[in-house]
Every structure is written in C-alpha cells, then in structure tokens.
Structure 1
C-alpha cells in the first residue's frame, strides 16, 4: 500500500506503532521498523539521557526509519526535544499538547513532525505551523484520550486539512485499517495490538490481561480533572471511579495512580497497576510477532479495499 505516509516516512507499510509510555522501548520500535512499519520510542516522562540511550540502542537493532514520541507534558520535554535533534532522529510524534515551540528547531534539523490531535481546530492550527502530517486519535484508544470517536474525528480532520492524516483509535486488524482509509486516513497508528507482540517487553500479566479482555472491559478515568485516560478495569480503576464520583480532588486521585503504569508494565500488579489499552482489546486473542501483526493487517485491509 503506497500512500503519502509511506513516501513521507520511507516505510513499506503505512502502519505506525504508538509511542506507549513504559512499553515502547528500543526492542519494540526496532522490531516494528524491521517489519516495514514505523517503530516509535515512547519518551514519556523519562530523562533526556535515558531517551538518548534508547535511540542509540534502536539504531543497533535496525537501519530502518524510526521515531520518538515526545510527551509534551513531561518535565523533560525541553531536553528530549533537543536530544532528538542531536541524535538525528528522522521522525517525531508528539502527544499531550502543542509542539509549536519546538517546530523551528525540529524543521531546521530536517525532522518529520507528526503530532497526535483530538480535534479539527488543533489539526488546522498545527498544519499552519508546518507539521508534516497529523495522527487523528479517537477516544477508543488506550491511554490519554479526547472525546470524539475515530468514526467522527478522522473524516472531519481529513476534510479540514491538506496534509496527510493518520487514523488511530480502534484499529486491531485489517478491517479497522480499511475503515480508517475509507474515512480519509492514509495510514494508521496502532498500540493495543502491539502490547501482545512477541517483541514487547512487558510483564506477562499485562499481555494476558489484554488477551483475556472483553469488549466492555475498558474504562475511562480522569474526566473530572480534564485528563481522561482509558485502561482495563481492575481494583485500582474501580477505586478511582468511586473517588471521582465522590468528588475527590486532583491531588488525591493522582496519589492513587502514583507509579501505577510501572506497576502494570514491570511488576504485573493486576490489582493496582494501570493497564492502559484501547477498546479494541476485546479483539486481540493471540500473541504474534510484529511482522505477523503488520503483514496480516495490511493484507486484510488490501483485500477489503480491493487494492
């Protein structure tokens, strides 16, 4: 499948792996890039030198293009923004904010910049700043989300801007990929299906929780303080929702989730960890290599789109 996204990113398949915090390390990014997609290192809140090391380790494992997801709310964002320039990273995706303050530096370095957006207004604004494409992410996604669904967001964004749109949120197989293309996307970003990839270094309890998930097993927390996030239900999310309903403040809720993503990814704490995953988790039933995930997804999409 050749699109403006495959040409822009110099990749074989128009499939980008999400920059999942604590999950998207050099092993996963390199495996996705070697399989013909675009692997992404999730910088999250990591210190800049940790991100630098991840970039260098990725280069040891692949000679294909890859990217770094810069989480703009991170206290290390300014330093990470410089590291991607110093390390000559070809692609940057961004999340949780507006990357305008870094655009001049990144574009001077020849970096392809692709922000994640959740509204038409933000897509238009960022197109004016010179970004190369946008990832329109629906609320079906795991992790931090907006309010619009992929079905409604992607076609409106595609109509509003001239640069390419990558669809995200609710893609677990080729049917979802084909749907994104029908809505106006020229590539897709997937996260949840890569959680269970063979090359993903997360606790087996996390993978098993995704594999056993049903369609109704995700829940959104954090709406009360304006930072909604989707994860799989467990004791922690039930307690969080209860406290939100009782009017708990932001700091009290943050204390409840302190270190919860690490508890999920590294410790496999099924009761207190934050098992971020999209609604599509109910469709994911088996572990596969990144190569199998990508090729099966694209082959199915091609047949449905009759390409």
Structure 2
C-alpha cells in the first residue's frame, strides 16, 4: 500500500470514528510536518459526492490547517465547475480565513447566484453574502470598489444605525470608519444626540478616526457616566482638532516635568484595528499606535484572553522630536 493510500485509509477511519474531531487531531499531528499527502487525501474525498456531503465540515477544517498544500487544494476545488452553493460557500469561507487572493474572474462567476446576506440571490438585488464580499476585498481588484467601498453607501449605512443593536450596530459603525468618508460624521453626531444608548464607544471611536479630534474623557468612567461624557464632548458639533495648548508647566527635576494639556492630538493611543476578513467580531485586536501607526499588538479586551505585546513596527520621527523639545524645556 502506497503512502497516499495509507493516509487515505487513516483519514477515512478518523472521519468515521465515534469522535471524529479527536481522531482527526490525532491524525493531523503526526502529518503536520508532511502536509502534502494529507491535503491530497482530503481533495480526493472532497471530490467524491458521497464523502464530501457527509464530511464537508471536517474536510474544510483540514484544508484550513494544512498551510500551503491545503491552499493549493482549496484553489483547485474553488475553480472546479459546477460547485453546489453550499460547497462554494464553505470553500469561500475557508479561503477568506486563509487570506487567499482569488481571481476576480472566478468571483464574478459566483456573484450572480451567490446567496445574499439578507436571503434570496445576490444577482436579484440583494447584497452579496459576507464570504463573497470578503473574498472580493481580499482579491485587491479595483473593479469591485463600486460594490465594496463606494461612498455612495455612506448615507444608507449610516441611516441604519438607529435600527441596529449589539454586534450589528458595531459592524455598521466600523464599516463607516473604514470607508473613511467624512460624510458619515453628521450621521454619527445625530445618533449621539438622539439615541439613549449607553454603548457609545464605537461611535466615539469612529468620530475620532474620521475627524482627527480626540476629546479628553474621564479615565475611569463607564456605563451611564461614560456615555454622558462622550455626548458632552461632541455636543457642540465641533469636529476640527484645535491646536494643543500646554499650561501649568512645572519642572520638578532634570528628568521630570508636570503639565496640563488641552485638546491633545492623541498621537499615542491604544485603538482597535480593522477586523480580520471573515471574522464575526467587528472589533477585536487592539494596538498601541503612534500617529495611527501600529507599534505593538496588545490583544483584545476579552476578560479571559491573555494580554501580550507583539512588536509590529517602529514609530516615525515625530515622537523623538517631541521628546527632544520636552528635554529642552526641562533643561
């Protein structure tokens, strides 16, 4: 029995076990150093009508975990003609999680009969399914811009804010933030003025990103107090970032100074980054940023997640110049 046949028999046995996930983990571990044979075995089962209908979730999980050999198989399967909608959806989701760039021509063939996000068929007037939208964005093809990022969508998206709650509200707000269209600002300010919601952080975060103004808020306020502080900060409708004013400077030693600052530029902050393609969480990873440039990834606000620092880049020259000016003033 050849290597391929041995792996194929082992894969079938794992999929038919009483606990397939445990059996697959046991099969996957010794093969992770040689993922090619396992990827080819997965492809063979996926191309079998009987096997792929019964084992599709397990097979796509394996493709996602096998690195480049799994990606190669995934691309071949996606290019196969006559894929059923369910197969195409699962394969597209897996490709998005892997961050693969699919050819625009392939995605256009999927668009007319892809399931729409609100039900029905995308080609009949509904918006494309999320996995297709994510795949279009990852493709980098500018021809998809009218669908994905056209600013004509700013007002319709912003107009839905008052109709959404929870993660949907966060997703709509993050979409406006990432589109970078200042036309969203009046809608966000109106939502703050008219809504009684306490969950205002997402709108505040989007306003800071879209306007560059970063009003000071109480450090430890939460709930009602935080919502009131955010609304008060934006209540006058001012969106221009005023020049920073340093006052009450007291030089305490050659290495330490104390001062107050009004209307800071917010050059250093911990801020959420854009969501990962295919993620169900619109806000997750945070980074320590300098002038919006990520320096360290610090993880999520999840109470059960570990806090870690991952170096992402070096700051530009401005922080060094600021430090030099402070040293000069202290001297």
- For normalisation by structure 1, the TM-score amounts to 0.26
Structure richer in strand, relative to its length:
1
> Which of the two has higher C-alpha Rg?
2
- For normalisation by structure 2, the TM-score amounts to 0.24
Structure richer in helix, relative to its length:
2
